[in-house]
Amino acid sequence: MQKTFGETFEINGIGLHSGLPSKMTFYPAEANSGIVFVRADLPHKPEFKAVYSQVADTRNCTCLGNAQKEVVSTIEHIMAALYILGVDNARIEVTNPETPIMDGSAKVFYEQLKKVPLKELPAKRKYLKVLREVEFSDGKGAKVVLKPGEGLRVHFTIDFPSKIVGHQEFDGVIDEAVFAAKIAPARTFCEKYQVDYLRSIGLIKGGSLENAVVLDGEKILNEGGFRVANEAVNHKVLDCIGDMYTAGYRLLADVTAEKSGHFHNNEVLKKLFSEPDNYQIVEE
């Protein structure tokens, strides 16, 4: 059966780019309403359903938008936590164009959301069952492939010139135990030169070593280094889970990804939904 939150609660933090306070208030929602973000800081409180067709930008994060250029950005870590905890429906009010970055992972979201009781709704849960292989490739070596599967399984491969990251792979079924131990704690990562550039153009005002792993050549600037083994690829898996939940349903699929990101995740969902024979909606 579908589930929503059993009570209202808040999570507070700062926006990565603005550096300004960002508060999220989570509300219970009706069956079949899905995950909906609301810009509570705007007078008319525009709503953004967290589905692939509402994604307006995929540079550095997954960003929902509307025709008025209003946005809610960096939804992927929250979406991943909602997915793994079995939350089908929720209304999430945000007081900033950005959701809180927290520590750059889904660890805080997962731990906080897990404390909130869930309420069962009078409607069967819906799953998106992939029936045919669907692939999106950018022609530059990055691709995502969706294949029929019994649950959500992800095989992700990355290759970076830095020996600190290098070649990393994740291959496994995504369940709550794996998510809590390996995926949720994995922080976003970047090179120092990228940080310097983004700051030079007035972005990442809220960015620090408290919310990202920063690499400088063959050094990690964060005290203590990586938090978990293969943290870099595990963070890409985190993003993938959150992005795949913008299908609007829980997935029954095997996902194979190589050097891909938010753009590729969004494009493969567009391709999946472009042909009705690619998938089936099933209820349990």
Residues assigned a catalytic role: 262
Q: DSSP readout, 22-57?
A: EEEEEE---TT--EEEEETTSTT--EEE-SGGGEEE
Beta bridge partners of 12: 23
- Which pair of tokens denotes residue 80? 């991943």
Distance CA 245, CA 112 (A): 19
If you search the block for the tokens 């994060």, which residue do you land on? 61
Distance CA 204, CA 208 (A): 8
The closest alpha carbon to 25, from 7, 8, 13, belongs to: 8
Alpha helix segments (H runs only) across 12-145? 76-85, 107-114
Give the three-class secondary structure for 147. Answer: strand
Distance CA 78, CA 109 (A): 6
Contacts of 126 (CB under 8 A, 6+ apart): 2, 32, 88, 249, 250, 281, 282, 283
The closest alpha carbon to 23, from 88, 89, 93, belongs to: 93
Contacts of 44 (CB under 8 A, 6+ apart): none
Angle at the Cα of 259 from the Cα atoms of 254 and 264, rounded to 5 degrees: 65
The closest alpha carbon to 87, from 150, 11, 31, 24, belongs to: 31
